[in-house]
Amino acid sequence: MDTQQQRKERLDRGIKVRTDGLYALMGWQELGYLTLPRLILIVGMLALPLLMPGMYWQRVITIVCIYALLALSFDFLAHFVGLVSLGGAFFIGVGGYFSAIFNASFGIPPLFSIPMATVSGAIVCTLLLIPCLPLRGVYFAIVTLMYPLALARVIEATDILGGTDGIMGIDSFSNSWVEQYVAIVLVLLFLFGLRRLVNTDIGLVVRAVKDNDQAVRASGMSVNFYKAGAVFIASGIGCLGGACLVHIYMWAGISLFALDFSILPIAATVIGGSGTLVGPVLGCLILVPISELLRDFGTLRIVFYAILLVCFVVFRSEGLMVYGERKYHQFERWVKV
Amino acid sequence: MEILIYGIINSIMLALMALGFALVYGISRVPNFAHGAIYVLCGFLTWIFVRSLDLNYLLGILVALVLTGILGALMYRFVLIRVRGMNISEIIASYAIGLAILEGLRYGGFKGTTHTLPVFVEGSIIIGDIPVDYQRILVVLIGVLLVAFLWLFTHYTRIGLALRGMAQDERAALMLGIDSDTMALVAMAFGCMLAGLAAILLLPLGNIVVEKGYDVLIQAIAVCIVGGLGSWMGAVLAAFLIGFAQILTTVYLGSHFQMVVALLAIIVTLILKPSGLFGQQKELEERV
- Among the listed residues B166, B173, B262, the one whose alpha carbon sits nearest the alpha carbon of residue B219: B262
* Domains along chain B with CATH numbers: 2-286 (1.10.3470)
Instruction: State the total domains in chain A.
Output: 1
Determine phi and psi for A318, rounding to 5 degrees: -75, -30
- DSSP designation for B287: B
Cα separation, B250 vs B253, whole angstroms: 6
Give the model's pLDDT for residue B287: 46
Contact check, Cβ <8 Å, B103/A223? no
Count other Cβ atoms within 10 Å, centred on residue A204.
Answer: 11
Which candidate in B40, B82, B91, B92 is best for mutational testing of the A interface (most A CBs within 10 A)? B92
Which candidate in A74, A125, A129, A146 is best for mutational testing of the B interface (most B CBs within 10 A)? A146
- The model's pLDDT over B56-94, given as tens digits with 9 standing for 90+, comes to 888 888 888 899 999 989 888 888 888 887 777 788 888
What CATH number corresponds to the domain at position A326? Answer: 1.10.3470
B91 touches chain A (CB under 8 A): yes
Helices (H), chain A: 14-19, 28-51, 55-76, 88-100, 106, 110-129, 137-158, 176-197, 201-211, 213-218, 223-249, 260-272, 278-293, 300-315, 320-329
DSSP string, B80-128: IHHHTT-HHHHHHHHHHHHHHHHHHHHHTT--SS--B---SS--EEEET
Residues of A engaging B, defined by a Cβ cutoff of 8 Å:
78, 84, 86, 131-132, 134-139, 141-143, 146-147, 149-150, 153-154, 156-157, 213-214, 217, 223-224, 263, 266-267, 270, 297-300, 302-303, 305-307, 309-310, 313-314, 317
Specify the amino acid at residue A123: I
Count other Cβ atoms within 10 Å, centred on residue A327.
Answer: 10
Determine phi and psi for B133, rounding to 5 degrees: -80, 160
Q: Please check whether residue B244 is in contact with residue B257, taking contact to mean a CB–CB distance below 8 angstroms.
A: no
Contact check, Cβ <8 Å, A310/B96? yes
Q: β-strands A330-336, B130-133: how paired? A: unpaired
Cα separation, A239 vs A235, whole angstroms: 6
Give the model's pLDDT for residue A124: 92
Count other Cβ atoms within 10 Å, centred on residue B215.
Answer: 17
**Chain A residues within 8 A of B225 when measuring between CB atoms:** 142
Number of CB pairs, chain A paired with chain B, less than 8 A apart: 122
B223 touches chain A (CB under 8 A): no
Point out the residue among A139, A157, A305 whose CB comes nearest to the CB of B257. A157
**Chain B residues within 8 A of A299 when measuring between CB atoms:** 103-104, 106-107
Does the global pTM surpass 0.90? no
- Whether residue A271 lies inside any domain: the answer is yes
Beta bridge pairs of residue B126: B131
Count other Cβ atoms within 10 Å, centred on residue A132.
Answer: 21
Cα separation, A327 vs A321, whole angstroms: 10
Contact check, Cβ <8 Å, A310/B270? no
Min Cα separation A148/chain B (Å): 10
Cα separation, A177 vs A188, whole angstroms: 16
B282 touches chain A (CB under 8 A): no
Cα separation, B242 vs B230, whole angstroms: 17
pLDDT tens digits in sequence order for chain A, 337 residues long = 567 788 888 888 777 777 666 666 677 877 788 788 888 888 888 888 888 777 888 888 888 999 999 999 999 988 888 888 888 889 999 999 998 888 888 888 888 888 999 999 999 999 988 888 887 777 788 888 888 888 888 887 777 777 677 777 777 777 888 888 888 999 999 999 998 898 888 888 988 888 888 888 888 888 888 999 999 999 999 999 999 888 888 888 888 887 778 888 888 888 888 888 888 999 899 888 888 888 777 777 778 878 888 888 888 778 888 888 888 888 888 888 7
- DSSP designation for A318: T
Helices (H), A52-175: 55-76, 88-100, 106, 110-129, 137-158
Give the model's pLDDT for residue A71: 92
Min Cα separation A155/chain B (Å): 10
Half-sphere exposure of A131 (CA within 13 A, CB side): 12
- DSSP designation for A331: E
- Whether residue A236 lies inside any domain: the answer is yes
Q: B47 vs A204, B20, B57, B136, CA distance in Å? A: 56, 21, 9, 19
Point out the residue among B99, B221, B253 whose CB comes nearest to the CB of A302. B99
Cα separation, B232 vs A277, whole angstroms: 41
- Mean pLDDT, each 10-residue run in order, chain B (288 residues): 81 86 82 87 85 80 89 87 79 85 80 71 72 81 87 84 80 83 86 88 80 83 80 81 85 77 82 70 46
Q: A62 vs A113, A233, B136, B265, CA distance in Å? A: 19, 21, 51, 37
Give the model's pLDDT for residue A232: 93
Burial of B16: CB neighbours in 10 Å, binned 0-12, 13-18, 19+: buried
Cα separation, B196 vs B188, whole angstroms: 12
- Whether residue A303 lies inside any domain: the answer is yes
Task: Give me the count of residues in chain B.
Answer: 288
- Whether residue A1 lies inside any domain: the answer is no
Which residues fall within 8 angstroms of residue A328, CB to CB, at 6 or more apart?
A37
Point out the residue among B83, B103, B271 whose CB comes nearest to the CB of A302. B103
Cα separation, A98 vs A124, whole angstroms: 10
Cα separation, A217 vs A203, whole angstroms: 16
**Chain A residues within 8 A of B82 when measuring between CB atoms:** 314
Q: From A148, which residue of chain B is nearest by alpha-carbon distance?
A: B263
- The model's pLDDT over B224-246, given as tens digits with 9 standing for 90+, comes to 888 876 667 788 888 888 888 88
**Chain B residues within 8 A of A309 when measuring between CB atoms:** 92-93, 96
b (16+ CB within 10 A) / e for B184-195: bbbbbbbbbbbb
Q: Please check whether residue B288 is in contact with residue B247, taking contact to mean a CB–CB distance below 8 angstroms.
A: no
Point out the residue among B31, B83, B274 whose CB comes nearest to the CB of A313. B83
Beta bridge pairs of residue B132: B125
DSSP string, A248-263: HHTEE-GGGG-THHHH
**Chain B residues within 8 A of A305 when measuring between CB atoms:** 96, 99
Specify the amino acid at residue B181: D
Residue A275 belongs to what domain range?
Answer: 6-336
Give the model's pLDDT for residue B283: 46
Cα separation, A140 vs A39, whole angstroms: 37
ipTM score here?
Answer: 0.78
